[in-house]
Amino acid sequence: MTTNPLLAAALEAVATASALTRAVQSQRDEVANHTKDDRSPVTVADYAAQAVVAMIIQDRCGDAKDHLIVGEEQAADLRGAEHTPVRQAVVEAVRTWRPTATEDDVMAAIDACDHDGTAEAYWTLDPVDGTKGFLRGQQYAIALGHIKGGVVQLGVLGCPNLPIDPAQTPAEPDPKGCGSLYAAMLGAGAWEFPEADPAETPLRISRPAWTPGQPVRTCASVEKGHSNRSDTDELLERIGADADPVRLDSQAKYAVLARGQADAYLRLPTRKDYVEKIWDHAAGSLVATEAGAIVTDVRGAPLDFGRGPRLEGNAGVIAAAPGLHERLVEASVSMGLAPA
CA distance 110 to 194: 30
First-to-final CA distance of the chain: 42
Residues 201 and 222 in one domain: no
Rounded to an integer, the average pLDDT of 160-174 is 93
Residue 177: pLDDT over 80: yes
> Looking at the domain assignment, is residue 213 inside a domain?
no
Confidence of residue 77 (pLDDT cuts 50, 70, 90): confident
Taking alpha carbons only, the member of 244, 185, 192, 189 closest to residue 220 is 244
Residues 26 and 148 in one domain: yes
DSSP state of 164: S
Residues 44 and 175 in one domain: yes
Residues 236 and 323 in one domain: yes
CB 338, CB 297: distance < 8 Å:
yes
Residues 110 and 196 in one domain: yes
Residues 55 and 194 in one domain: yes
Distance of CA 133 to the CA centre of its chain: 12
Our count of domains for the chain comes to: 2
Question: What pLDDT shows up at residue 227?
Answer: 61
CB 219, CB 284: distance < 8 Å:
no
Question: What pLDDT shows up at residue 244?
Answer: 77
Give the β-pairing of 246-247 and 151-159.
unpaired
Q: Which range marks the domain in which residue 282 is found?
A: 218-335
The model's pLDDT over 274-313, given as tens digits with 9 standing for 90+, comes to: 899 999 999 999 999 999 999 999 999 999 999 999 999 9
> Last residue of some domain: 171, 205, 239?
205
Residues 168 and 263 in one domain: no
CB 251, CB 141: distance < 8 Å:
yes
Residues 189 and 310 in one domain: no
Q: What is the largest CA-CA distance in the chain?
A: 61
Rounded to an integer, the average pLDDT of 190-198 is 97
Is 320 exposed, middle or buried, given 0-12, 13-18 or 19+ CB atoms closer than 10 A?
A: buried
Residues 102 and 241 in one domain: no
Q: What is the CATH number of the domain that holds 286?
A: 3.40.190.80
Residues 229 and 200 in one domain: no
CA distance 201 to 192: 9
pTM above 0.85, yes or no: yes
Residue 104: pLDDT over 90: yes
Residues 224 and 198 in one domain: no
Share of the chain above pLDDT 90, in %: 83
Catalytic residues: 46, 131
Q: What is the CATH number of the domain that holds 129?
A: 3.30.540.10
CA distance 56 to 47: 14
